[in-house]
Amino acid sequence: MNMNGDFHGKGLWAVILGGSSGFGLATAKRLARAGLHIMVAHKDKEGVVETQIKPHFEAIRQTGVKFVAHNVNLFDDDDRAGVMESIEEQAGRGKVHLFLHSIAAGACKLLAEPKGPDFRADAIKGLQEALTFGGAAVTITQLRDAVNKAFHEKRCDALYTVADSKIPYKDDLLEEEDVSRTVWMMGYDYLLWGRELLARELLSPEARLVALTSEGNEIAWRGYAAVSAAKCALEASCRAMALEMGPYGVRSYIVQAGITDTPAGNAIPHFDLMMAQARMRNPFHRLTTPEDVAEAIYALCLPPLSWSSGSIIRVDGGEAISGL
Ligand SMILES: NC(=O)c1ccc[n+]([C@@H]2O[C@H](COP(=O)([O-])OP(=O)(O)OC[C@H]3O[C@@H](n4cnc5c(N)ncnc54)[C@H](O)[C@@H]3O)[C@@H](O)[C@H]2O)c1
């Protein structure tokens, strides 16, 4: 690779777990343009693959790089082994330059039944009383409908404190099994893959290993407990990998993305309200896009950032450090 970031003709690969959507897919597209061969693993229904995902994969092939996709369940031992064998066969020794873990497979459930003041209902009631006092005949139902219409259809983001979310909390509470599966797949699984790629001598001399965290690593969002625990395990894994794999030339990074409109995001309870809040407080007043993050991951693959390792890099336009 030369300093202008062109990987064409080098025979290097990017292996992306969770490469059919969101950050994983955007990174696959970006790195294919830069000349890395691409292998993705993902888990999607066949109908979705046919109608929504295949055109993206075709666009990657059109760039001229090699492209391999595995639609498998990475919770399954045989499927995991199959992907590892495929990496050995397709990429081979010393050729994996980027490994990205971008799987979203977490349980988003509450720990306990919600309790406490109903600020939304109280605000609507107070507003209705004030309007009635002022001579307008408005019912609570009319007011609530108007607020929801303005929020969901006219994108009045400031109403996120009073609008009803279209992504409610799940009925069942978080179970131990939910936590352990989430902490495995979205936490230390990154370490397991990185270690195996190193042991099989598949990594390039200056390989980059990358995984994704969120602001929910430090602050608690309702319904995000298991994923939050996983993010802490992920970040600890990244530091350990940077330390112990560094002598082999490996760099390990965690990218902390801002709130991004993806299928996984929309599985988090109240994510519609979170997106509105993020648009308001982000200094650029927009959400992070998968392409913003893909550009950052591409930059991490290049020589100028090679002295960075074991770090959490925020790619969020300043969202995490911004108050309202
Ligand atoms: N969306 C956000 O706001 C946001 C913000 C910060 C960090 N993140 C993190 O980014 C990562 C990727 O999330 P995303 O928003 O791009 O999600 P996404 O829904 O767009 O993509 C998730 C990917 O995981 C794959 N996947 C899910 N279960 C799988 C399984 N069992 N086996 C194989 N593949 C499986 C899907 O096929 C898909 O390719 C996650 O770790 C998430 O926590 C997301």
**Residue 1 confidence (pLDDT):** 53
Percent of the chain past pLDDT 70, that is, above it, reads 99
Q: What are phi and psi of 142, to 5 degrees?
A: -60, -40
**Residue 42 confidence (pLDDT):** 98
Q: Whose CA is nearest to atom 20 of ligand 1?
A: 22
* Alpha-carbon span 245 to 194, nearest angstrom: 9
**Residue 324 confidence (pLDDT):** 72
Is the Cβ–Cβ distance between 170 and 223 less than 8 Å?
yes
Does the C-beta of 259 come closer than 6 Å to ligand 1? yes
**Residue 3 confidence (pLDDT):** 55
**Residue 106 confidence (pLDDT):** 95
What is the rounded average pLDDT of the residues 178-197?
98
**Residue 93 confidence (pLDDT):** 98
Does the C-beta of 104 come closer than 6 Å to ligand 1? yes
Give the chain's mean pLDDT.
96
What is the rounded average pLDDT of the residues 160-188?
97
pLDDT category at 190 given cuts 50, 70, 90 is: very high
Provide the residue type at 248 as one letter: Y
Where along the chain do the CATH 3.40.50.720 domains lie? 13-111+175-321
**Residue 323 confidence (pLDDT):** 86
What is the rounded average pLDDT of the residues 71-93?
98
Atom of ligand 1 nearest to the CA of 211: 41
How much distance in Å is there from the Cα of 182 to the middle of ligand 1?
Answer: 12
**pLDDT tens-place string over residues 257-296:** 999 999 999 999 999 999 999 999 999 999 999 999 999 9
* Alpha-carbon span 276 to 292, nearest angstrom: 19
* Alpha-carbon span 129 to 139, nearest angstrom: 9
What is the rounded average pLDDT of the residues 107-118?
95
How much distance in Å is there from the Cα of 212 to the middle of ligand 1?
Answer: 9
Q: Give yes or no for residue 136 having a pLDDT over 80.
A: yes
Does the C-beta of 210 come closer than 6 Å to ligand 1? no
Give the CA radius of gyration of the chain. 22
Phi-psi region of 71 (alpha: psi -120 to 50; beta: other; left: phi over 0): beta
Domain 13-111+175-321 has CATH 3.40.50.300: no
pLDDT category at 128 given cuts 50, 70, 90 is: very high
Q: Give yes or no for residue 81 having a pLDDT over 60.
A: yes
